[in-house]
Structure 1
Amino acid sequence: MRDRLLDAVERLLVRDGVESVRLDAVAREAGVSKGGLLHHFPSKQDLVRGVVERLADRFEAALPEPDAPPGAFALAWLQASIPAESPTGDRSGADRVPLALLAAAGGPDVLAALRARYARWQLRLADDGLEPAVADLVRMAVDGWWTARLLGLGVPHDDAHIELRALLVELIRTRGGAG
């Protein structure tokens, strides 16, 4: 039931944005009573926290183990965030749940939980065998790219998408040796 409710939240987020996440709307989308929803998630903040944790877990599942070759973590960060090809009919990331925006909308506790995950990811990135400035540049480029897609701000498309992504992959491989 928890996954059914979290799936409903994700559908609402993608379709209608963060403001659409209301307990009655989630219950309706999931096909359950509001009482059934409240049994699993006593508040909207608990519901948002559940989605943020699930999305962060999915992201972490795509990342390599700590003993991976140099640059592997940065490369996995890129691959989990930016598709290899420019998405057809790119809707500026509208097909993805806005994790950072959702965490911010969830309040200080939810945002603090995401910040704690980011801090751990940043440590892993710093220990990835890349020069520190390169590791930071890759993370910031990927996060900025994702944010640009989400908000529709100067999103690279088609050949520009492929070329920019290739430049990041080349930077990771030449400064870290990931294959």
Structure 2
Amino acid sequence: MRTSKRSQILEAATRVVQREGVKSVTFDSVAAEAGLTKGGLLYHFATRDDLVLAIHQHLADRWEADLVAAAGKPATEATRDERLAAYTQVAIQSATRAELLLMLEGSTNAAHSAVWEAVTERWAPPPASAGDDPAALDRFIVRLAADGLWLYDSLTSQQLTPETRRAVAERIADALTRDGGSDEEG
């Protein structure tokens, strides 16, 4: 199937974010990356804000698809522990710097943050449930560890060796099964 121009533009914009950050997303930078004219972008996105919101939605949709693939089912059909396992797997294996940068940038814009919060609320354990329940706290710590590895990979110039990264990822994944694989819904 041929990629639509809109998808081509959003993938090009994602590469700009990955390489240079959200502030670097301009019609000129994205047009150059996509091999299109600025007018070609304006046909699909009337303003830079429209383009940036579309990038948020595009990546959040892709992130959700990765989570569904990791769980083997949608969030509505997965147990709490299956959702956490999928979230952890995606965060430690395939989450990108562009996604992180967009989430950070989006945290100051209600429309942008809503796109990401919709996905996280379905898949990641909330901190509110961790206070009085040791198992809930453990699940939340696993989430934080996965997020921390993603953050480290995305923001540091000191890349982990493949062996060290694999060992950290395995340790995080092992924490999911330490409690005997409890899979109660909650």
Q: TM-score range by the shorter chain?
A: 0.7 to 0.9
Of residues 58, 66, 71, the one that matches 2:81 is 71
1:101-154, Cα deviation, whole Å (9 max, x unpaired):
22443551212332343233336897xxx9211221111111111111111177
Cα–Cα, structure 1 residues 74 and 135, in superposed 2: closer, same or farther, change >3 Å?
A: same
Letter in 2 for 1:114: W
Which position in structure 2 is the counterpart of 1:147? 151
| Secondary structure, aligned partner of 1:98 | helix
5 Å-filtered alignment, 1:2-81, equals 2-63=6-67, 64=71, 65=74, 66-68=76-78, 71-81=81-91
Distance 2:126 2:104 in 1: 23
1:120 matched residue in structure 2: 122
Match status 1:83 vs 2:85: no
The answer to whether the 8 Å contact 1:71/1:173 transfers is: no
Aligned counterparts of 1:156 and 1:28: Cα–Cα separation in 2: 32
Q: Say whether 1:162 aligns with 2:166.
A: yes
Distance verdict in 2 for CA 1:175–1:56, change over 3 Å = farther
CA-atom RMSD in angstroms: 3.1
Relative distance call for 1:29 and 1:171 in structure 2 (3 A) is same
Q: Deviations over 1:31-79 (max 9, x none)?
A: 2222221221111121111111111111211223333356222221122
The one-character-per-residue Cα deviations of 1:70-96 (angstroms, maximum 9, x if unpaired) are: 622222112212239xxxxxxxx8xx3
Alpha-carbon separation, structure 2, partners of 1:122 and 1:83 = 16
Q: Secondary structure at the match of 1:133?
A: helix
Structure 1 gap segments, 5+ residues each: 85-92
Task: Give % identity.
Answer: 32
**Does residue 100 of structure 1 match 2:100?**
yes
Q: What's the TM-score, normalizing by structure 1?
A: 0.75
Q: Where does the alignment leave 5 or more consecutive residues of structure 2 unmatched?
A: none
Query: What amino acid sits opposite 2:90 in the alignment?
Result: A
CA change 1:153–1:32 in 2 (3 A) is: closer
How far apart in 2 are the matches of 1:30 and 1:12? 10
Distance 2:8 2:172 in 1: 37
1:38 is aligned with what amino acid? L
